[in-house]
A and B are shown apart, each in its own frame.
Chain A
Amino acid sequence: MRYKIDTIEPFWWGLFMAGAGVIGMLLPIHILAQGIMPGVGAVTPDTMAFRIVNFLTGPLAPLIKLYLFVLISLPLFHWAHRFRYFLFDLGLHGGRMALATLCYGAAVVGTIIAAIVLFSV
């Protein structure tokens, strides 16, 4: 009798939970302030645009970019894990390894792109 213990699963699950925390705790105010308030006139788009550029270029830029990296990357891993099981719940049981590779691979690629973009901006 042989057992294959899935040692990588806790790693993905840890990133999934960290992403859940970022989405719940940090993302709502970003969506509200950057996505909704400029569009409804609660803050002018010019003001928010100026602030974002200031964040990306000011003296605290390295710290802010690190924060943005976490803000962008972890929700991708949360999506990857959740979407994988969402499809499984819907009855997609074949190609589990391919599906996992696609989901987590997309999150890894997104994370690399985020690092490159934030480093180069």
Chain B
Amino acid sequence: MHGQQSAGRSVGYPWRQPSGWWLKNSHYIMYMIRELTAVFAALWVVIFLAQIAMNGRNVAKWSASLASPGWLVFSVIAFIFVMYHAWTAFTATSTLMYMRMGKEPVPAGTINGSMFVAWLVATIVIGVILLTPIFG
């Protein structure tokens, strides 16, 4: 039983997988790569936070940070991983969530599609705010 102890030894469901289990199948490899997407997302926000701390209200410092080749290269890599995270999350939504409209189940394509529509709306709204002089 999970969490039950007997004679100082766990008698639950002991781990039987070898550590290289994920190398045996391309789907498992992609699963592990998806697990890694969180590392790049977290690193990007940590570096962004460091930029806020170091550059503060200084436009020249911000400009130098944003023009840095290292920042560009890392952002491109992070973007690929984050988009992979987004794509796999949105296409898996109908698997994770069961929804009904009345007595009829909502089709998987509708659920997944609504995620992409929400993503598109959020992207356009934030993009307009960041890239146009709407707020100065």
In the bound complex, what is the Cα–Cα distance between A26 and B41 (angstroms)? Answer: 11
* Nearest-CB residue, chain A, relative to B86: A24
Question: Which A residues are in CB contact (< 8 Å) with B1?
Answer: 1, 3
A85 touches B (CB below 8 Å): yes
Task: Identify whether the interface residues of B are mostly helix, strand, loop, or mixed.
Answer: helix
Question: Which A residues are in CB contact (< 8 Å) with B45?
Answer: 27, 71-72, 75-76
* Nearest-CB residue, chain B, relative to A67: B126
Are A35 and B41 CB-contacts (below 8 A) given A55-B135, A121-B57? no
A 30-43 to B, binary, CB cutoff 8 A, 1 in contact else 0: 11111111111001
Contact present for A24 and B89 (CB under 8 Å): yes
- Of A1, A58, A86, which is within 8 A of B136 by CB? A58
A54 touches B (CB below 8 Å): yes
B110 touches A (CB below 8 Å): no
Interface size, chain B (Cβ < 8 Å): 61
Task: Identify whether the interface residues of A are mostly helix, strand, loop, or mixed.
Answer: helix
Question: Which A residues are in CB contact (< 8 Å) with B122?
Answer: 25-26, 29
Contact present for B89 and A79 (CB under 8 Å): no
* Nearest-CB residue, chain B, relative to A23: B41
Contact present for B57 and A60 (CB under 8 Å): no
Q: How many A-B residue pairs have CB under 8 A?
A: 177
Question: Which A residues are in CB contact (< 8 Å) with B72?
Answer: 35-36, 38-40
In the bound complex, what is the Cα–Cα distance between A56 and B61 (angstroms)? Answer: 14
Question: Which B residues are in CB contact (< 8 Å) with A48?
Answer: 62-63, 66, 130
A-B pairs, top 8 by smallest CB distance, nearest first, are A35-B75, A39-B72, A91-B19, A49-B62, A79-B42, A24-B86, A49-B63, A45-B67
Given contacts A19-B38, A79-B41, A79-B42, 8 further A-B contacts (CB under 8 A): A26-B126, A27-B45, A30-B48, A35-B71, A37-B131, A53-B58, A90-B22, A93-B15
In the bound complex, what is the Cα–Cα distance between A32 and B126 (angstroms)? Answer: 11
Contact present for A33 and B71 (CB under 8 Å): no
Question: Which B residues are in CB contact (< 8 Å) with A75?
Answer: 38, 41-42, 44-45
